[in-house]
Chains A and B, each alone.
Chain A
C-alpha cells in the first residue's frame, strides 16, 4: 500500500502533469474572474486549497459511512460548510482580501475541482493520501491562478503585488484586466503548457526508442 501513493508524484501531477486548471480545465469561473491581480489570485488559490484539504480529509474519513445514493448531497453539505467557515475566517483575519474577492469566496462551493477530487479521489482513498491530494491539487490551482494573475496584472496595470514594476512610462493595456484579457491569457498559458508537455512526452519516447535501438544494434553487432 505504501508504494502506491507517492507525495512527490502527487505534487508533480497537481502542479503540472494533471494541473486542475491548465490540463483538466476545471474551475474556470474563479480562474477567469479573480485573476485581475496576483494578490487576488493567491488569496483565491489558498482559500480554495484550504477548503479542498478539509473536504478531502472529511470525505475520505467518512467514505465508508456515506451511502452511495446520497454521496453528492453529502459532499456538497461538507464542502459548503467548510467554505462558509473559511469565508468567516477570512472576513475576520484577512478583511482586505475578503473585500476584493467578495462574492467569489462563497462560489468556491461550486468550484468543480473540489467536487471532482471528492468524487475521484477522496471517496476511494485513505485519509493521508487524500489530504496530500488536496494539498497537491490545491497548489496546482493556486499555481495556475498566480501565473495568470501575474501576467494580467503586469500587462494590465504595470504592477506586481500592487508595486509598480514597469515604470510610469508604461501605459497599462487595460484589456488584460478585463474579462477578454482573462480568456486570451488563459488560452496562451494552456497552449504553452500543452507544448511543454508534448515536448517532454516526445523526449521520453525518443529516449525509449534510442534505448531500444541501442540494444538492437548491440544484439546485431554481437551476431555479426
Chain B
C-alpha cells in the first residue's frame, strides 16, 4: 500500500512541476503573442513591398488555398490591382526555403524574394541575391532551369528548389483560376 502511495506522490510532484512550467510558458506566450504577430506581419509586408516596389500597397489574404502553398495575397495599390503574392515552402539543400513569389494578373512574375532559408553559407545562399532572383522577373508558364532561368553554379540543389517553388506558385495561382494556365 505504501508503495502505491509513494508512486502516487511521485506522479503528483511531477504533475505539479509540469503545471507550474505550463503556467510560466502560457504567461510568457500571453505577453509576447501580439509582438510576435506584429513581427511576422512586418516581415510579410517588407517582402511584399520589396517585390512590388510600392510603399502604399495593401494586401488581403485569400482563403481556400491549394495545399502546396502557405498563403496567397491579393495585392493592390489604392484601387489599382497589382497582382498576387504567393508564400510557400520549398525543400532546399539545408531544409525548407520560405519563398515569396509576386505574380501580375497577366501571369508574369513581378518578383521573387526569400523570406528565410538555411542553405550552405556562401554557396546556396547565393540564390537569395537580388541579382539572381531578378532573372525570374517577367517570366511566366512552366519554367525550366537553363532555359528561362539560369542556376547558380555550385548551388544546383538550391537553384532547383527556388525554381520548383516558383513553378508551384504559378501552378497554384492557375489552379485557383487567378491567372491563365497557359500564359506565355
Contacts and interface: CB of A to CB of B under 8 A. Distances in A.
Interface residues of B, number: 25
A78 B116 CA distance: 30
Interface of A: 36, 62, 65-67, 69-70, 73-74, 77-78, 80-82, 84-85, 88-89, 91-93, 95, 99, 102-103, 156-157, 172, 174, 177-178
A88 B34 CA distance: 11
A121 B21 CA distance: 21
28 contacts: A36-B121, A62-B17, A65-B13, A67-B10, A74-B13, A77-B14, A77-B18, A77-B21, A78-B17, A81-B25, A82-B21, A85-B25, A85-B28, A88-B25, A88-B32, A89-B32, A91-B32, A92-B32, A92-B36, A92-B39, A99-B116, A102-B118, A103-B118, A156-B121, A157-B122, A174-B121, A174-B122, A177-B122
Interface of B: 9-10, 13-14, 17-18, 21-22, 24-25, 28-29, 31-32, 35-36, 39, 43, 95, 116, 118, 120-123
Contacts of B10: 67, 69-70
A84 B13 contact: no
B122 A73 contact: no
B117 to A, nearest CB: 10
B17 A84 contact: no
Given A78-B21, A85-B28, A88-B36, A67 B122 contact: no
Contacts of B35: 92-93
A-B pairs with the 6 shortest C-beta distances?
A: A81-B21, A92-B32, A92-B35, A85-B28, A174-B122, A95-B39
Interface centre among A92, A93, A103, by most B CB within 10 Å?
A: A92
A73 B14 contact: yes
Given A81-B22, A174-B123, A70 B28 contact: no
B160 to A, nearest CB: 20
B21 A102 contact: no
Task: Name, among A67, A102, A178, the residue most crowded by chain B CB atoms within 10 Å (CB to CB).
Answer: A67
Nearest to B38: A92
Contacts of B21: 77-78, 80-82
A77 B25 CA distance: 11
Contacts of B122: 156-157, 172, 174, 177-178
A95 B39 CA distance: 7
A172 B2 CA distance: 68
B119 to A, nearest CB: 11
Contacts of B24: 81-82, 85
Given A66-B13, A74-B17, 15 more contacts: A66-B17, A77-B18, A78-B17, A80-B21, A81-B22, A84-B28, A85-B24, A88-B29, A89-B28, A89-B32, A93-B32, A102-B116, A156-B121, A157-B122, A177-B121
Contacts of A36: 121
Nearest to B16: A65
A80 B10 CA distance: 20
A156 to B, nearest CB: 7
B9 A67 contact: yes
A66 B14 CA distance: 8
A91 B36 contact: yes
A129 to B, nearest CB: 22
B17 A77 contact: yes
A85 B32 CA distance: 9
Contacts of B43: 95
A178 B14 CA distance: 42
B177 to A, nearest CB: 34
